[in-house]
Amino acid sequence: MKTLREYIKEAGEKGIAIGHFNVSNIEALHGIYNAAKKLDVPVIIGVSEGEEEFIGRDEVESLVKMLRERDSYPIFLNADHHYSFESVKKALDAGYDAAIIDLVKLPLEENIKITKQCVEYAKKLGAKEGRDILIEAELGFIGQSSKILDALPEGVSEATMTKSEDAKYFVEQTGISLLAPSVGNVHGMVVGGNPRLNIQRIKDIKEACKTPLVLHGGSGIADVDFTAAIKEGIDIVHINTEIRVAYKEALQKYLAENPKEVAPYKFLKGGVDAIEEVVYNRLKLFNNL
């Protein structure tokens, strides 16, 4: 089986993108995996620090590894939005395929220093264990909450978008494998609609740093913007809030209609199916199917 790095490179050459979806329980994992298998496309499972704490760092690694080995399927695990070298190290030591070090709140040079530390540790560990481990970093500000938002988070504006020259410098100084820029995207779903993406900025950043780009905050983005962004250099797209909303609404609907039901495998199934539907449609779009 090809490595995650090889699948990302292949996606870039084909002008498509790999879908990245977050989980905090096994139901979400089932829904995502079911959708990916139906379309026969690679998929990345993400767990933020909070999600990882709930589902279990080692537990989710074992589950994803089991699916990959049992079915010989390209499903990968990413430590999404980890905020320190120590937390990234724990995830990589547990066997994760990739990790995102998110230090956008720090001064640039301090961000570079710690990000580079993560890159160097990933290379050292990868060489020791015979694994190809990817480190991603975020540059620019897009907010931090995967939830329904009444308005754009404070600090999200054109002024805090990633500049192509900054992206080039950051990649050169850190050696990261993946860059998540701020290009009009925002974590969470904004009531009334998310802002439009700055497609020209994506193109400029891609040309400047020659590095695979990751679009965070994919929930709520218009299909036409996804298509244009992928065409201009986005290689991975993150979706989280959309599947959280679908899961919650399905559970609420079932329990409202079946108030006496107490068997989890019955009232949770609708949540799995709802996640699967969202992921299926997103993967179909990202892979131009």
Q: How far apart are CA 270 and CA 134, in angstroms?
A: 34
Q: How far apart are CA 51 and CA 102, in angstroms?
A: 15
Query: What letter does residue 133 receive in the DSSP assignment?
Result: -
Paired strand residues for 45: 21, 77
Helix and strand tally (H, E) in the chain?
12, 10
The one-letter amino acid code at 3 reads T
Residue count of the chain: 289
Query: What are the DSSP E strand ranges found in 172-276?
Result: 178-181, 189-190, 213-215, 234-239
Determine which helix (DSSP H) or strand (DSSP E) holds 21, and give its type and residue range: strand 18-22
Backbone Cα Rg of the chain = 18
Catalytic residue among 40, 58, 71, 80: 80
Is 71 marked active-site? no
Active site residues: 80
